[in-house]
Structure 1
């Protein structure tokens, strides 16, 4: 059984980690790849697997602060969970794409200051039940993954190209 399958079986309130469960009928934004399989959402940000990239976890953000709307966050779901253990939620992990190290460290500190006891308990539960530990150096891990990443297998809709005025 994969870490993702174990995570699903836990039946936890993952919205406490900014990862609301994927449910049918969720809005489909222009940048969501047509070959994506949703893991969960934080507002309009979709976390997903994309066919052709095995277990890599991606963020798809229609309101991205970077020059890109779809980008990898973790080589696999286990690393994604380890990043959440290190950062407290999906939010700091997703924002690494546009941040420098100083910005990330400040954001991480701000996030940890507002973390609730419920969130801390949930993170401890994930650590115990999934038998994982927090990722060391989350900023460096994500930046290294994103550096020179091959985006060629991501299938985007005509709406994506139309919205950004890009030729297909």
Structure 2
């Protein structure tokens, strides 16, 4: 049984740590092909992508960078350890656009203060899954992102349409599954008797 499967069996309220249950599909223009969503925090979703094993990715349709999809952890166990170190998915997800100073400042700010029920969820993960917080979360995520080649991630046609990008070489745009009927405009003249 994988760590992710063990985590799911805990049946905890993941919304307390930014891993709320929801659709496993995603459905945003930037959700990669083959994504299996494992949690939500507002519009941001976290997923595995077919072909990348247990690597955990963030999908952010309102990103503050030029990346809409980026890795956060080599596997789900490390992802949980990052959350244990930071208290929530939010600071982990935002490492991509922060300096280390900004990251550390956020961790100690009121924005990252523990909410009701959050510590209980973190304690359950620690105790039941026997995990410890990641020692250097900022360095871990930055190193993973620096080494990652995102050019192999596959997207739907919507991704290229929304961003105004050309489709990758050799790929043809799919025709929509629906067809519109041609609209013919008819003008009607009213005839009146004089």
TM > 0.5 between the two?
Answer: yes
1:120-139 equivalences under 5 Å are: 120-139=119-138
* Matched residues, number: 167
The 1-side partners of 2:36 and 2:26 are apart by 14
- Decide which structure has greater helix share: 1
Give me the CA root mean square deviation: 1.5
Structure 2 residues not aligned, in runs of 5+: 168-194
Show CA shifts across 1:108-139 (max 9, x none).
11257521251111101100001110001100
- Do the aligned partners of residues 27 and 82 (structure 1) sit closer, same or farther apart at CA in structure 2, a change above 3 Å counting? closer
Matched, 1:8 2:8: yes
Q: Which residue number in structure 2 is paired with residue 89 of structure 1?
A: 88
Q: 1:111 to 1:51 in 2, by over 3 A?
A: farther
1:51 Cα shift?
0.6
Distance (Å, rounded) in 1 between the aligned partners of 2:15 and 2:110 = 15
Q: 1:112 and 1:162 mapped to 2: Cα distance?
A: 35
Are the structure 2 counterparts of residues 145 and 27 from structure 1 closer, same or farther at C-alpha, using a change threshold of 3 Å?
Answer: closer
TM-score, structure 2 length as denominator? 0.82
Unaligned runs of 5+ in 1: none
Deviations 1:35-70 (A, max 9, x none): 101101111111000011111000000000011000
CA distance in 2 between counterparts of 1:12 and 1:111 reads 24
CA distance in 1, matches of 2:110, 2:33: 32
Task: Answer with 1 or 2: which has the greater Rg.
Answer: 2
TM-score (norm 1): 0.94
| Secondary structure, aligned partner of 1:37 | strand
Q: After the TM superposition, which residues 1-168 of structure 1 pair with which residues of structure 2 at under 5 Å, given as runs?
A: 1-23=1-23, 28-110=27-109, 114-168=113-167
Instruction: Give distance in 2, aligned partners of 1:111 and 1:139.
Output: 19
Distance in structure 1 (CA, Å) of the matches to 2:67 and 2:143: 16
Distance 1:22 1:83 in 2: 21
Distance 1:162 1:139, change over 3 A: same
For structure 1, which segment, 54-63 or 146-155, has the greater mean C-alpha deviation from structure 2 after superposition?
146-155
Question: Secondary structure at 1:47's aligned position in 2?
Answer: strand
